[in-house]
Amino acid sequence: MSLLDHYAQQLEQLKRTANLRQFQSNLQHGRMIQIHGQRMLNLSSNDYLGLASDVSLREEFFDLTPVTERRMSASSSRLLTGNFPEYEQLETSLSQAFGRAALLFNSGYHMNIGILPALADSKTLILADKLVHASMIDGIRLSSAKAVRYRHNDLAHLARLLEQYHDDAQIERIIVVTESIFSMDGDETDLAALVQLKQRYPKVMLYVDEAHAIGVRGEQGLGCAEQYAVLEQVDFLVGTFGKTLASVGGYLISHPLIRDYLINHMRPLIFSTAQPPLNMAWTRFMFQKMLQMQAQRQHLQQISQELKVQVEAKGYACPSTSQIVPVILGESEKAVQKAQQLQQAGFYIMPVRPPTVPQNSSRLRICLTAQIQSSELAQCVALL
């Protein structure tokens, strides 16, 4: 038997259960995506405000940025020679908007697998929502902390765990890890209630990932923490530039002391070449545009609510309170078939299957952007 047979069998198994993943070549033009010659309305994008698909923004940015400043590589970590002015300029813009220190990372994935192991030692307990993103799960695994998961969005369960562990003398600190808007269910944590809970326990710190909320929530688009007025109460406020911000990279907003600590302890920050300075300049340009986009945020919220109501009217469970609207079907087979049918009708919606979501909760995952109109959604829902 060849050594490859083992891997071939695993792939076969995925194929049999309709769980095989493959790359798809695609072409994109504005709101449209083309795959195998089929042109469809893109309803699977994380480009929630439409910034990534807007060519005029790229033109404006490159007009402002001479070729001498278009640096395509940092050539080292920021701790060696990579700390170009673009990093500090972006961190300054973030600090001014959020009101605390900011630190940048190469991606949201790097951020979550790096910060948690740096912060959490064997005297730390991590309490994490059952549905947190894989990057946080990997960060927890890489840390030497004890970790316990609480039921998804169940703050009463979290409160019981806090009661149980808070007075344990072995535990010096407890970090509660959650997302604000969850990437697969499109539902959200009650951040105001979470902050109230934290304030009852002196050992507790909050780690909140706003990957799907930055740009989308709050008057200035700073996320759910802005919307619920708890920007200062979340100890570790993190997010990504790869979604609404139409760029790449991750950020942390926290106390300046934590920033200094991570610069000294966070391995993916220390041992990886920093993002190209050009990307940092682009992120800052995008961030400043995003702050002003109240009208787009409002439109997105409105069509999101409309879609949720329509999906529920069709008899499907829909936990969403955001621009991510899942249609939960159960079997992977069913989700794959339904997605194909919608794609043939011109709506690019992707099926999401285990292990990304729990067994028997395969779903269509509709992601709305501010460029979608109500009438288009009505046509799509009619096909469900």
The residues, ordered by sequence, that sit 6+ positions from 214 with a Cβ below 8 Å of its Cβ are 221, 222, 223, 239, 240, 243, 244, 245
Q: Which of 87, 98, 109, 236 forms a contact with ligand PLP (CB under 6 A)?
A: 109
Segment interacting with ligand PLP (CB under 6 A) among 3-11, 22-30, 209-217, 274-282: 209-217
CA atoms of 108 and 110, how far apart (whole Å): 5
Asked if 143 touches ligand PLP (CB under 6 A), the answer is no
Among 47, 91, 129, 179, binds ligand PLP (CB under 6 A): 179
The least distance separating ligand PLP from the CB of residue 161, rounded to whole angstroms, comes to: 22
**Which residue number is nearest to ligand PLP in terms of Cβ?**
108
> What is the DSSP pairing of strand 173-179 with strand 236-240?
unpaired
Options 183, 275, 310, 322; binder of ligand PLP; rule CB under 6 A? 183
CB of 150 to ligand PLP, least distance (A): 17
Helices (H) and strands (E) in the chain, counts: 14, 14
3-state helix, strand, coil in the chain (%, to 5): 40, 20, 40
Select from 91-99, 101-109, 301-309, 339-347 the region that touches ligand PLP (CB under 6 A).
101-109
Query: Is the Cβ–Cβ distance between 133 and 168 less than 8 Å?
Result: no
- Tell me whether residue 124 or residue 183 sits nearer to ligand PLP (CB atom): 183
Contacts of 297 by beta carbon, 8 Å cutoff, 6+ apart: 49, 215, 216, 217, 221, 370
Residue recorded with tokens 């030692």: 121
Q: Which is nearer to ligand PLP, 179 or 226 (CB)?
A: 179
Candidates 42, 107, 178, 362; binder of ligand PLP (CB under 6 A) is 107
Positive or negative: CA dihedral 118, 154, 233, 201: negative
CB of 172 to ligand PLP, least distance (A): 26
User: What does the binding site for ligand PLP look like in residue numbers (CB under 6 A)?
Assistant: 107-109, 112, 133, 135, 179, 183, 209, 211-212, 240, 242, 250
